[in-house]
Structure 1
Amino acid sequence: MLSALPSFEDVRVLVVGDVMLDRYWHGATARISPEAPVPVVQVCADELRAGGAGNVAINAAALGCQATVVGLVGEDEAGSVLGERLRAQGVACRLEAVAGVPTITKLRVISRHQQLIRLDFEERFDARHAPRVTAAALEALPGMQALILSDYAKGTLAEVAALIAAARQRRIPVVVDPKGTDFARYRGATVVKPNLAEFEAVVGRCADEAELAARGAGLCEALELEALLITRSERGVTLITRGQPAWHLPARAKEVFDVTGAGDTVAAVLGCALAAGLGLRDATALANLAAGIVVGKLGTAAVSVAELRAELSAQAPLPQGVIDTAQAVEAVAKARAQGERTVLAAGRFTPFDAQSLAWLEAAAALGERLLVAPLADAQAVAILAALRAVDWVVPLTDTAALTTLAAAARPDVLAVPCGTALPAMAAGVTVVELPAGRALG
């Protein structure tokens, strides 16, 4: 499992695709219109964000990458605003302005954190404009470590095959967020990232995961892809790599608030992770983690390094065996966050015998996790760490050290042998005296 984030500081990624301006009108609703059975929204805020390939680039920049975006806009105010928003968030822009075609704009009306309606203002860009995109992308490609193609079927990527070929010739990984049913146009890409509906529109409905894996493997072979990453909503993601078994990862979202732009985040994090040197599995795990964060936000949004690092820490497995006090504090806190009670059992366990084992099993029955603190008992440490009932062992020198450990880790229960005299424990720590143990004295 991925345990730490790679460094994104010097990573350079190029995003090419359909850029758009996402506009949000926020307001309260208190009545129904007398003209039609619809709510009346009193608009009080107008918010502008970059969407589509622009949102992909912003997600890359939020990780600390050096992100450049290439796309088509209209010769209008929306195109100018979109460029301003991108540059303000650290994205270098190569936006080619086209006369007579509006910048793609999506207006969402939001009330009480709920989207009431979306209005789209757009026209598909003609294929004759695609060479301008290709020229700008090929000019920006040297020195890049990943190419992310964000296809919303608006005409920007009419020459996508040329972009894939140019990147692969330079050994630059290519991540494609696809659209439509003609996946042959993405032949030779490193990873194509459809959602389940998009995938099944190409290969047909899959009855189960085995059929999904088989058809995905066939598509990888036919299109010379290194991998397919299929996003499956609440069922997580499936990575299908040529020559390897399918890998299924569960969804990581705690609460789904808004799925807008989640695909952009997955494409961005996947591409940036590959550019930073991660393998496909680790890059997929990181992208899946990012998706779980971003769906908890309203509208098109980015995921920060701090959020990813915190989520990685929360998902990391608890330590095992012999640990120190600092690790014990973290382990007990994680166990508590998972709804588990921790018992700190302190005692002398040399010689280790049936009496010692029975006493530890009695202590373990008081909670879900057992932290054992042998006092001045170095001989017993290895034995204790090997016991199935014991989660962690923190060797201590005396009862004063036990008091310090209990105050720092704040276990739910402190189990000690009968007759042990201890100073008052911190609030919330219940002290239980168990018979048959060797007194700490």
Structure 2
Amino acid sequence: MKHVLVIGVFNVLHPGHIRMLRFARECGDHLTVAVQSNKTSPQTIHVDEKLRLDGVLSNIYVDKAFITEKSVEELVQSLKPNILVKGREYENRENPEEILLQEYGGELLFDSGKASFSSLDLLEKEFQADAGYHIKLPYKYMERHGIDSSQLDSYLNKVSELKIAVIGDLIMDEYIICDPLGMSQEDPTIVVTPIDQQLFIGGAGIVAAHAAGLGARVNLISVTGNDQMHDQAVEILTQADVNINLINDEHRPTTLKQRYRSKGKTLLRVSHLHQSDINQKLQDQLIEQLEKIIGDIDLLVFSDFNYGCLPDAVIKKMTEMAKNHQIYIVADSQSSSQIGDVSRYKDISLLTPTEREARIALYDHNSGLVVLAEKLRQKSNVKNILLKLGEEGVLIHAGNNKSSEEPFLTDRISALNNSPKDVSGAGDSMLITSAMILCIGGSIWDAALFGSVAAALQIGRLGNKPLKLQELQVAVKI
């Protein structure tokens, strides 16, 4: 009987593994697989050894499998297989066990399968950014508003001159990639096992990171807990070149949102947060932080998730301060439930609600989109509204100071990315990019175009990753 041995980690039993196991089994009469233990290579192991062993044993080509802490050489010496099969990637490397095999007539063969990826490739594929190849520019919209490539070029060259303050709820987003195990036998529950996880900055944090990635000088002012997520946020924001002004609240955690995903879909979201308003002392500290930099900023951005960081009194005071210094003001107030009122941001230059957020603020579930946007514009006395419509794109609603007969102007941009990967974070990228274009002198039509392109880039990848100026330049084909 010819014995064949395969040794590996087997995080996820993917098609490449199956082809190799089939090849190995065809090389002999009995296939043994040694699964490396958790202690062997902790940097590359993402699944517990028992689960990895179960996965290997479930394969029809495997006759025997076990967990081992031994090296390849030790296993060859103890088991003395007739054939040792390794992946093709090892063919041009040094394989010291080959000498041991030759001593007793054993062979070293390399997998002839054509799969060229590993378990880690499968795990990391979720987090790879889409390069924007699915973005389709709205050329007819650009023609209607006289937008050409030379204008786009000049705007992008100016955004790095901006000095920005972002104020609002900082959020940490954790993506937990899972392998489905099946349905529970006790109750109708889907059972998964975590394979990998990755942390991203979210909320006001990603708004600030986007602005810094586009070249602006950015200050972030927010409230966090005194915990590990705070430390993680500081590390990510520092790498993004954001000036950090975080105030600790001992009575609340840093907001953490966890997304459990499998096969490219989100199975479950878990939020760890407090939604009560911060106390008066913390409110005063937030205002003091803005007072320190108010004379040296061009743009004030409110990134409000209604988790208590921005009570009405803070918004009112900060808005007054910014107006006294003739600073451009924009806001986004997100409502995950019935909580939140975007109309509390008044007398500002840009508001970017979703249709649902606008309807909640106005208690209006019947009006058409244009009427809805105009009602919100009048209630808030805001100059411009970008009404986000999800997969239908964005409605641009602008006040028209040139004509009393036509008090507002409206247009729409369809969604520019027809292959979205993760829609979370689209609104944040639209908010900051459109605000920056407005602040440097662009029209609302220019701003909406850039905001839509930024959102299209963001939804083409998994997780919040700071935009880069070069990405926008490539996307608009400058």
* TM-score by shorter chain over 0.5: yes
- In the other structure, the counterpart of 1:262 is 426
User: Structure 1, residues 345-374: CA drift from partner, whole Å, max 9, x if none?
Assistant: xxxxxxxxxxxxxxxxxxxxxxxxxxxxxx
CA contact (8 A) 2:240 2:466 kept: no
What SS does the corresponding residue of 1:164 show, helix, strand or coil? Answer: helix
- In the other structure, the counterpart of 1:380 is none
Matched AA of 2:215: G
Among 298, 319, 323, the alignment partner of 1:145 is 298
2: CA distance, partners of 1:18 / 1:280: 26
| Pairing of 1:10-29 with structure 2 (within 5 A) | 10-29=161-180
Residue 104 of structure 1 and its aligned partner are, at CA, apart by 0.8
- In the other structure, the counterpart of 1:126 is 278
Instruction: Establish whether residue 172 from structure 1 lines up as the match of residue 327 from structure 2.
Output: yes
2: CA distance, partners of 1:42 / 1:282: 46
CA contact (8 A) 1:141 1:167 kept: yes
Among 343, 352, 359, the alignment partner of 1:193 is 352
What SS does the corresponding residue of 1:303 show, helix, strand or coil? Answer: coil
Matched AA of 1:232: L
User: Structure 1, residues 278-304: CA drift from partner, whole Å, max 9, x if none?
Assistant: 222211110011112211211223332
User: Structure 1, residues 196-250: CA drift from partner, whole Å, max 9, x if none?
Assistant: 1111222313553xxx323423432332211111111122111212223112222
- In the other structure, the counterpart of 1:282 is 446
CA contact (8 A) 1:146 1:274 kept: no
What SS does the corresponding residue of 2:253 show, helix, strand or coil? Answer: coil
Instruction: Establish whether residue 205 from structure 1 lines up as the match of residue 365 from structure 2.
Output: yes
1: CA distance, partners of 2:299 / 2:466: 19
What SS does the corresponding residue of 1:245 show, helix, strand or coil? Answer: strand
Residue 115 of structure 1 and its aligned partner are, at CA, apart by 1.4
| Pairing of 1:278-427 with structure 2 (within 5 A) | 278-313=442-477
1: CA distance, partners of 2:465 / 2:204: 13
Any stretches of 5+ residues in structure 1 without a counterpart? 317-441
Which is further off, 66-75 or 39-48? Answer: 39-48
Which is further off, 29-38 or 278-287? Answer: 29-38
Q: 1:183 to 1:254 in 2, by over 3 A?
A: closer
Instruction: Establish whether residue 230 from structure 1 lines up as the match of residue 390 from structure 2.
Output: no
Residue 54 of structure 1 and its aligned partner are, at CA, apart by 0.5
What SS does the corresponding residue of 2:295 show, helix, strand or coil? Answer: coil
User: Structure 1, residues 242-273: CA drift from partner, whole Å, max 9, x if none?
Assistant: 22311222221121221111111111112222
What SS does the corresponding residue of 2:417 show, helix, strand or coil? Answer: coil
- In the other structure, the counterpart of 1:395 is none
| Pairing of 1:74-85 with structure 2 (within 5 A) | 74-85=225-236
1: CA distance, partners of 2:203 / 2:315: 16
1: CA distance, partners of 2:304 / 2:214: 22
Q: 1:117 to 1:183 in 2, by over 3 A?
A: closer
2: CA distance, partners of 1:291 / 1:39: 32
2: CA distance, partners of 1:115 / 1:80: 26
Q: 1:136 to 1:36 in 2, by over 3 A?
A: farther
Q: 1:273 to 1:32 in 2, by over 3 A?
A: same
- In the other structure, the counterpart of 2:288 is 135
Instruction: Establish whether residue 72 from structure 1 lines up as the match of residue 218 from structure 2.
Output: no
1: CA distance, partners of 2:415 / 2:467: 16
- In the other structure, the counterpart of 1:86 is 237
What SS does the corresponding residue of 2:432 show, helix, strand or coil? Answer: helix
Residue 60 of structure 1 and its aligned partner are, at CA, apart by 1.2
Among 200, 220, 231, the alignment partner of 2:377 is 220
Among 409, 414, 419, the alignment partner of 1:245 is 409
Matched AA of 1:264: D
What SS does the corresponding residue of 2:257 show, helix, strand or coil? Answer: strand
Q: 1:194 to 1:2 in 2, by over 3 A?
A: farther
Among 239, 247, 253, the alignment partner of 1:96 is 247
Higher relative contact order (CA 8 A, sep 6+): 2
2: CA distance, partners of 1:45 / 1:201: 37
Matched AA of 2:285: R
Residue 184 of structure 1 and its aligned partner are, at CA, apart by 4.2
User: Structure 1, residues 137-157: CA drift from partner, whole Å, max 9, x if none?
Assistant: 222222212111011001111
CA contact (8 A) 1:221 1:242 kept: no
- In the other structure, the counterpart of 1:113 is 264
Q: 1:288 to 1:206 in 2, by over 3 A?
A: farther
Any stretches of 5+ residues in structure 2 without a counterpart? 1-146, 401-407
Which is further off, 33-42 or 46-55? Answer: 33-42
1: CA distance, partners of 2:185 / 2:453: 46
Which is further off, 143-152 or 184-193? Answer: 184-193
CA contact (8 A) 2:359 2:372 kept: no
User: Structure 1, residues 72-109: CA drift from partner, whole Å, max 9, x if none?
Assistant: 00111111211111111111110100112111111111
- In the other structure, the counterpart of 2:121 is none
Find runs of 4+ consecutive structure 1 residues off by over 4 angstroms.
Answer: none
2: CA distance, partners of 1:35 / 1:130: 49
2: CA distance, partners of 1:39 / 1:215: 41
Give RMSD over aligned pairs.
1.9
Among 201, 216, 231, the alignment partner of 1:50 is 201
What SS does the corresponding residue of 2:465 show, helix, strand or coil? Answer: coil
2: CA distance, partners of 1:308 / 1:234: 20
What SS does the corresponding residue of 2:442 show, helix, strand or coil? Answer: coil
CA contact (8 A) 1:23 1:46 kept: yes
